Every structure is written in C-alpha cells, then in structure tokens.
Structure 1
Amino acid sequence: MAGRVVLHGRGASPYSRRVELALKVKGIEYEFVEEDFTNKSEALLRYNPVHKKVPILVHNGKPITESLVIIEYIDKTWKEGPPLLPRDLYERAKVRFWASFLHQQLFEAIASVINTDGEAQDRAVKEVHEKLKVLEEGIKGNYPGGSPFINGNNMGLLDVVVCSILGTHKVLEEVLGVKFLDPEKYAMVNSWVKALTESPLVKEAMPPHEKLVGILRLIRARLLESAAA
C-alpha cells in the first residue's frame, strides 16, 4: 500500500525500535522524526494528545499509537511483505500472548531494575530471572525447533518485541552490573537473542553500544535522583 509513512520516535527507545524493525522487515520506506522529550513537538502533542509519547506512526496523515497496535496495523496494511503474525488464528493467538508477556511483564521487571537500588533492585533482578525462566520454558513448549521466526528466516512480531527488550542486554548488564542472559540457564533465549542481534536488519536499526550505555546511565541517574527527592 502506497502512501507517506512517518515514524515519530526516539532512537534509544525500545518501543520505537520495535516499530522500526517491523517497517524494515516489511521493506516499507519511512521518514524518521527524532523527538525530544524535554521539548515535545507540536506534531507529537497533536498526534498523541492522550499519552504524549512515542512511537507514533503517521500514514497518509493519520496517526497510530502504541507499538504493538502499530505493528499489527503495519502487518494488515502492507500484506505484500513478509507476515509479522501467523495467518493461522491459533498460532496468532499464541504469538499475541507471548508478545503481551514480553511487553507487560518482562520489560516492566527490567525497568524496575533500572530505577531501583539496593534491596529493591535485588528483588527486581530476581523477578527478571523468574520471567526469563517462564520465557525459556515457553519457547521449549511452543517453539521446539528454536527461536519462533514467523516466516522461515524472516523476523516476526515476537522476534521484534524480544529484540527491542533483550537485544541491548549487554548494555543493561554493563550499566547495572547484573548478568541477565546466562547461556546455561536460558540456552534457548540466549541463542534466540544472539541470532537476532547478528541480523543485518537489527544491526542497521540498533544505535551504537557506547551511545546506549551513556543514555542508560543518564536515565538511571535521573530516576534514582527523582526517587530520592
């Protein structure tokens, strides 16, 4: 489907990154508009007046918000590219379930590690490992052949979401001093993430490691300072 596609986002945002990956998998040409949260643009506030957040996909002047909603819109609108979700309804339901688990539970647990310290952070780290264990078992039970690529060697919704969350695990580990992806504990998750981060599409969309380390250090410092105030 032709038309002008503009993505309002932030290069370091995992939410924006997953939408960028979905667009790249589909081979869709788009314009990226980098937003500054300290000085939100008039366009951002107009397109997303409720949450005032990115990502926002603007297709032919019409805005779509929320990363998972955007990805489903992309998949249904541009049918000519590789599918991001299975066509089989049962398989699609499974993908949606695990995408929701990753988005709502694993990512939130990791966010808790970033914005806490001391005993609270220890509890948050424990929760992350509990979620990773669930994910590891879920892959074994639902995708015994390995990582759940949706269409052969093409990335799908789950790949995009897990990459946006765990694709930068080395950045998290460096900044937080915590080991998340232990290959002995989470062999399938580790191999899945490794395969994704070595993909040309992901390398193209991922900001440099050093840049992400600097951004995360700044974010963590601000969150801890705010919590202590």
Structure 2
Amino acid sequence: MAGSDVILLDFWPSMFGMRVRIALAEKGIKYEYREQDLQNKSALLLEMNPIHKKIPVLIHKGKAINESNIIVQYIDETWNDKSPLMPSDPYARAQARFWADYVDKKVYDASKKIWVFTGEEQEKGKKEFIEIMKVLEGQIGDKPYFMGESFGYADISLVTFYSWFYTCETLGNFSIEKECPKLIAWAKRCMQRESVSKSLPDSKKIYEFWNDMKSKLGHEHVPEVENFGSFHVWFSTG
C-alpha cells in the first residue's frame, strides 16, 4: 500500500468519521483521505476492518485502528507533542472516557429514532434525546468545555453530532437550543475552532443527504430500523 503514512477511510456525513478528522486537525497531521462507497465497500476497507467492515478506519504505517473513540485516543497518544486531547490527571482522564462512552451509548440511538420514525415513536425518541442532551448539558455547566478550560476528547465525542442537530430539529419539529441553551452555546464555542469548523459538514447539506437517502430507500422502509439497510450500517460504528 504505497502513499501516505496516514490514511483515513471515511464517509463524509459520518459523525464518527468527523471525530477522527477533528483529532487529526488538532494535531496538525497530514493524511490521505479516502472517501468510501459503503454500498460497494472497497477491498481495502474490508481488509483493514474485517470484523465490523465499517468506517472510520485510520491506517498508520500500514496498520489499521478501528472505532472512532479508540482512534482519537490513538492519535492523542501517538502524536503527543502538541494539543493534548486527554487531561493529564488520571481521574479527569477517566471522567473524559466516561462521558465519551455515554455519548456513544446514548446519543446516536436516540437521534436515530427522530430521523427514522414519525408519530408517537418519534415523540418518544425526541423525549429521550432531549433528556440525554440535558444530562450532557449538566456536565458542561458553565465551563467552556466538557472537562474545563481545554477542548478535548469528550468534546470531540459529542460535537460531531452538532452537524446533525438541524436534521433532528427539522424532522422532529423542536428546538434543541430552546431545551438546552448552554449545550448549544458550547457547540458554537467548539465551532469557533478551525479543527471543528472545517471537519463538520454544513448542517443543511446533512439534511439534504438524509432526504436523498430516504428517497432512495423508500418511505415504506424508513420505520424498519433494524432493517434500515446501508444507512443504518453507515452510522452504527462508534
């Protein structure tokens, strides 16, 4: 595999891939980006992630690292000479991992219910989503970032979902800012960082992508979350 020492296999709307892009940008790492067609997975993707067969995959010197939060930790530990993403204190590091894990286990599944369902099921998903956002907002509180004064690992785990907030709000007919103003203030603060603003696609472009996917899949298939075909597979990686 000739070329760059660092290669990222990714798909542009993936909130999980965005995490890796932010971490690489924070560290100033040059890399080769390879957009993946997840309806026709490349031989390289299947070779480098044979277990899950999903993006993102970071390839560093020919070796693959999978799962976005694991990749972000790997980037922080490997390029540790600038822009630390994890706190230096062991307890604070444990807390950062806890909140990143909370995001992984809660946010995607709740937001998916808003995208996929309508009616009563969507309302349940919306209520669940708002409750989760309020928990996260409580952790941020009046601090600039999750763990205090410095942008880092826990912030990266959540901020990429911000690009999908407009889609959630439009489909669910609600305002996240009205429900969680401090959370949105935090997200806007993160967006002032070049690493974030250049890694997150425009939110309306995400919404257009969703509508295009929904049209291709057909409205009759949308409620079938467990059988949601390629779209479900694209974003179910952590």
Q: TM-score range by the shorter chain?
A: 0.7 to 0.9
Report the counterpart of residue 165 of structure 2 in structure 1: 169
Confirm or deny: 8 A CA contact 1:10 1:34 kept in the other structure.
yes
Paired residue type of 2:24: L
User: Is 1:186–2:180 an aligned residue pair?
Assistant: yes
Confirm or deny: 8 A CA contact 1:9 1:32 kept in the other structure.
yes
Confirm or deny: 8 A CA contact 1:106 1:131 kept in the other structure.
yes
User: Is 1:156–2:146 an aligned residue pair?
Assistant: no
1:198 CA displacement? 3.2
Which structure 2 residue ranges, 5 or more long, are not aligned?
228-238
Runs (4+) off by over 6 Å: none
Paired residue type of 1:145: K
1:223 CA displacement? 7.5
Report the number of matched residues.
220
Which structure 1 residue ranges, 5 or more long, are not aligned?
none
Confirm or deny: 8 A CA contact 1:8 1:55 kept in the other structure.
yes
Confirm or deny: 8 A CA contact 1:5 1:31 kept in the other structure.
yes
SS in 2 for 1:127: helix
SS in 1 for 2:210: helix
RMSD over equivalenced CA pairs, Å: 2.1
1:199 CA displacement? 2.6
Stretch moving more, 52-61 or 3-12 = 3-12
Mapped to 2, the partners of 1:187 and 1:59 lie a distance apart of 39
Q: What TM-score do the two structures reach when normalised by structure 1?
A: 0.88
SS in 2 for 1:15: helix
Confirm or deny: 8 A CA contact 1:82 1:151 kept in the other structure.
no
Q: What TM-score do the two structures reach when normalised by structure 2?
A: 0.85
Identity value in percent: 33
Report the counterpart of residue 145 of structure 1 in structure 2: 143
1:150 CA displacement? 6.3
Paired residue type of 2:220: E
Confirm or deny: 8 A CA contact 1:5 1:60 kept in the other structure.
yes
Task: Show CA shifts across 1:135-183 (max 9, x none).
Answer: 122222xxx433236664xx31122112111243123323x14324224
Higher relative contact order (CA 8 A, sep 6+): 2
User: Is 1:213–2:204 an aligned residue pair?
Assistant: no
Paired residue type of 2:20: V
Q: How does 1:196-207 map to 2 (within 5 A)?
A: 196-207=190-201
Mapped to 2, the partners of 1:194 and 1:172 lie a distance apart of 17
1:102 CA displacement? 1.2
Mapped to 2, the partners of 1:20 and 1:148 lie a distance apart of 19
1:224 CA displacement? 4.8
